[in-house]
C-alpha cells in the first residue's frame, strides 16, 4: 500500500485536540480520517508527529497514512481539502514516502510557537489564536529566565501530572523570545525547539516566563523551579489558544 505524508494546517479551537475522541467529540484526526474515507471507502487510521491538545493550533503538523490507490500527491491534497470543508483544517502538501517513514517515530525535531499579546483592548482578529494579557512584559527578564531551561534537564516541574512520557528528562535545544508591534499593544513570540516535548511543557514554560516578565518572579527563580523537580514549583500553565505546532524535522525533509 502506498504511504503518504501530509502536512496539515488547522485551527484547534473547534476541536478536542488532535487525537480521535469518543463518539460525538470533534478532533482533527477524525476530520482528516473522515475525508480520507470519502476517497477510499473504508476506515482509516493516520499517525501524527504530535498529539496537540484541545484548542492548540498547527501550521506544520505531519501525519502519515497508507492508501490502497496510487494517488498523485497534488490530486490527493486537493481532494482532501474539498472534503474537509468547511472545517478549519487544510492539507498544505501531500507527498509519497517510503514504507519505513513514520510521522512520529521518524521525527528528530518538533518546533512550537506561542503567541502572547499585551494590550488593554480586547483582541478581535486574533481572538482564539493568542493569549491576551493587559500589560507589557520585560523582554530582557524573560530571556534571562529562559536561559536556565535550554539544554538537557529533568523537566518534572514543567510536566503535566497526567503526562505519559517514560522519563521527564528532555533536551530543549532552543527557546527564542521576540517582541513585535501589535495594534494597540505588543506581541511576544516564544519559539521552542526540541526532539520531543512533555505534556504541557511548552505552556508551563511560557506561563512561568510570563510571571518573570510581569515582575512577579525574578529570572533566577526559573532555575530554582527547574532544580526543584516539583510540579508545585511551576508557574501558572498558560491557556492553549496561543500555541502552535509550526514544524517537524526529519533526517531528510519529505516535503522538499
Full pLDDT tens readout for the chain, 256 residues: 899 999 999 999 999 999 998 777 999 999 999 999 999 999 999 999 999 999 999 999 999 999 999 999 999 999 999 999 999 999 999 999 999 999 999 999 999 999 999 999 999 999 999 999 999 999 999 999 999 999 999 999 999 989 989 999 999 999 999 999 999 999 999 999 999 999 999 999 999 999 999 999 999 999 999 999 999 999 999 999 999 999 999 999 999 9
Residue 167: closest CA among 178, 179, 153: 153
pLDDT at 98: 97
Q: What is the DSSP letter of 2?
A: -
The residues annotated with a catalytic role in the active site are: 53
Hey, where are the domains in the chain?
3-106, 109-247
CA 56-165-145 angle, to 5 degrees, is: 65
pLDDT at 21: 86
pLDDT at 24: 76
Q: What is the DSSP letter of 49?
A: S
Q: According to CATH, what is the number of the domain 3-106?
A: 3.30.70.580
pLDDT at 49: 97
Residue 168: closest CA among 105, 230, 240: 230
Q: What are phi and psi of 84, to 5 degrees?
A: -80, -20
Can you give the chain as a three-state secondary structure string?
CCEEEEEEEECCCCCCCCCCCCCCCCCHHHHHHHHHHHHCCCCCCCEECCCCCCCCEEEEEEEEEECCCCCCHHHHHHHHHHHHCCCCEEEEEEEEECCCCCCCCCCCEEEEEEEEEECCCCCCCCCCCCEEECCCCCHHHHHHHHHHHCEEEECHHHCCCCCCCCCCEEEEEEEEEEEEEECCEEEEEEEEEECCCCCCHHHHHHHHHHHHHCCCCCHHHHHHHHHHCCHHHCCCCCCHHHEEEEEEECCCCCCC
Contact by Cβ (8 Å): 36, 1: no
Q: What are phi and psi of 71, to 5 degrees?
A: -80, 145
Do the first three CATH levels of 3-106 and 109-247 match, i.e. the same topology? yes
What is the fold of 109-247?
Answer: Alpha-Beta Plaits (3.30.70)
Amino acid at each position: 500500500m502506498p504511504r503518504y505524508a501530509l502536512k496539515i494546517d488547522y485551527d484547534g479551537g473547534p476541536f478536542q485536540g488532535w487525537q480521535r475522541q469518543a463518539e460525538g467529540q470533534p478532533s482533527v484526526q477524525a476530520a482528516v480520517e473522515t475525508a480520507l474515507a470519502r476517497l477510499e471507502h473504508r476506515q482509516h487510521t493516520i499517525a501524527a508527529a504530535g498529539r496537540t491538545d484541545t484548542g492548540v493550533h498547527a501550521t506544520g503538523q505531519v501525519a502519515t497514512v497508507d492508501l490502497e490507490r496510487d494517488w498523485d500527491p497534488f490530486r490527493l491534497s486537493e481532494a482532501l481539502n474539498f472534503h474537509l470543508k468547511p472545517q478549519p483544517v487544510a492539507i498544505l502538501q501531500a507527498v509519497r514516502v517510503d514504507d519505513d517513514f513514520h510521522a512520529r517515530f521518524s521525527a528528530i525535531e518538533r518546533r512550537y510557537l506561542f503567541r502572547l499579546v499585551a494590550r488593554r483592548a480586547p483582541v478581535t482578529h486574533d481572538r482564539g489564536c493568542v493569549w491576551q494579557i493587559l500589560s507589557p512584559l520585560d523582554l530582557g527578564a524573560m530571556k534571562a529566565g529562559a536561559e536556565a531551561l535550554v539544554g538537557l534537564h529533568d523537566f518534572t516541574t514543567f510536566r503535566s501530572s497526567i503526562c505519559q512520557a517514560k522519563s521527564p528528562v528532555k533536551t530543549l535545544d532552543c527557546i527564542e523570545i521576540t517582541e513585535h508591534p501589535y495594534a494597540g499593544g505588543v506581541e511576544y513570540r516564544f519559539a521552542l525547539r526540541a526532539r520531543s516535548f512533555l505534556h504541557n511543557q511548552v505552556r508551563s514554560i511560557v506561563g512561568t516566563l510570563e510571571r518573570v516578565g510581569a515582575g512577579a518572579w525574578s529570572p533566577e527563580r526559573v532555575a530554582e523551579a527547574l532544580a526543584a523537580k516539583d510540579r508545585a514549583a511551576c508557574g501558572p500553565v498558560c491557556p492553549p489558544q496561543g500555541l502552535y505546532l509550526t514544524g517537524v524535522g526529519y533526517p531528510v525533509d519529505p516535503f522538499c
